[in-house]
Amino acid sequence: MTPLDGSSTDTTVTGVPRPGGTGALAGTTISRIGYGAMQLERLHGDRSAAIALLRLAVELGVDHIDTAQFYGDGFVNGLIRDALRPADGVLVVSKVGADPNPGGRIPLRAAQRPEQLRASVENNLTSLGVDQIPVVNLRRLDTGPGLRAEGDQAVGIDDQLAVMTAMRDEGKIGAIGLSSVTLDGLRRAIPVGIVCVQNAYSLVARADEDMLGLCLSEGIPWVPYFPLGGAFPGLPKVTDEPAVHAAAQSLGSTPSQVGLAWLLHHAPNVLLIPGTADPDHPSGERRRGHARTRRRDAGHTRRRPDALGGCAARLIYATSARQATPAHPARNNCYRDISASSYNEVTMTLNDAESRRTSGELTTNLGLSGLTTSEVAGDLRFTLERLQSALAVADGADPVDVWELRDYLEQAARDAGMQPAGYTVLTDRSRHLARTWLRLRKAPRHVFATS
């Protein structure tokens, strides 16, 4: 299986540094930040601008484009056909499972039956002008916002996978992905060979965390749609979170930028496909690892587009986007409750007094457990140096280690027949908020000898 971090190639086939770093999809090395083409429907009246935008994306290092026949009833696929060249080395991913519904209350209608899936693949082949689509996502309608399958559209996933694998065997599609799928559905599908999963997921909508974990363990890329949440009225938006605004301000970034960077940092199998239909939105200077927004073209300078409309993340096309993730404030200081009331709380930093108090509480519970540091380090699989750093809540301690140690010692003290000391900073509420930023681990449990 292809490693999730791809190959050692840090540039595209055209020699451009990869935005977001290097990833892999369907055995192909790609940039972790691609382009979602759905919004190109908005440029129906300006085809040349849409094609220019696609060309610009390629020039900026995008080599993964997500599309569908139902984006503009073939209009977007036609743009991709006319804009891209084989030498660009772009991996095109399409999807099936819905059809256009012109004039309907909702612009899409379910198309889940096997014969409809086949017809949609044929339509994609025609509009893209290719003999094979590298990856086709089967869009189930089981979960996430949007359509639901009813009546004869409620088709079992096994029947759908049968026609998808048949088309793969026929050479019409190169590989199969899944979208809007449940955890059970993914488990049923894995044996046929699934190369990616697209589900709605963001910092504020993380119901599929278990599925992300399964994808990570199976080597399947996770390609979230609605990565900033809020696609429909009433759904939470990343950009409405006070803590995200505060983190963006402290980092010199935008809230959208923080939301997308968090996804890249959250798991190594995440690939992003943000989209835009605005080729003229100025981005300004890139600071703190962001690239300058210029390219040379016929003797003048053209500006790079911001993605996701006017409130876009400037990092999405930054060639050094890995430096732009909020890794340091998020991972190194994520102990405190999140609040916009003070800078320390915004950046989740413990002051010296809080660090000393937390270290004292951890040390007290270590004493109550009766365990030695060697026993604790062995259970947690820490080196002694790493354990001492977490126990002291040192400046360089990983907050994930500190949280794991906290839970381990609390349970160990209880198992030793003692009442564990309470935690005044690492509270249950703090844990809930910390999970917004960190992938906290479940602590192991020490096995005490029985007499």
Classify strands 22-25 and 28-31 as parallel, antiparallel or unpaired. Answer: antiparallel
Alpha-carbon distance of 313 to 326, in angstroms, equals 13
DSSP string, 250-274: HHT--HHHHHHHHHHHH-TTB-B--
Alpha-carbon distance of 49 to 7, in angstroms, equals 34
The two tokens of residue 413 are 């003290």
Contact of 64 with 25, CB cutoff 8 Å: yes
Amino acid letter, 381 = R
Q: Which residues are catalytic?
A: 71
The two tokens of residue 399 are 């907050």
Using DSSP's 3-state secondary structure scheme, residue 196 falls into strand
DSSP H or E stretch at residue 343: helix 343-346
The two tokens of residue 108 are 């899409």
Alpha-carbon distance of 338 to 396, in angstroms, equals 20
Closest CA relative to residue 438, chosen from 315, 288, 313, 329 = 329
Find the DSSP H helices in 10-144: 47-59, 75-83, 114-128
Q: At what angle do helices 373-380 and 399-415 cross, to 10 degrees?
A: 120
Give the count of alpha carbons within 13 A of 319, CB side only: 17
- Identify the DSSP state of 278: -
Angle 198-202-203 from CA coordinates, rounded to 5°: 155
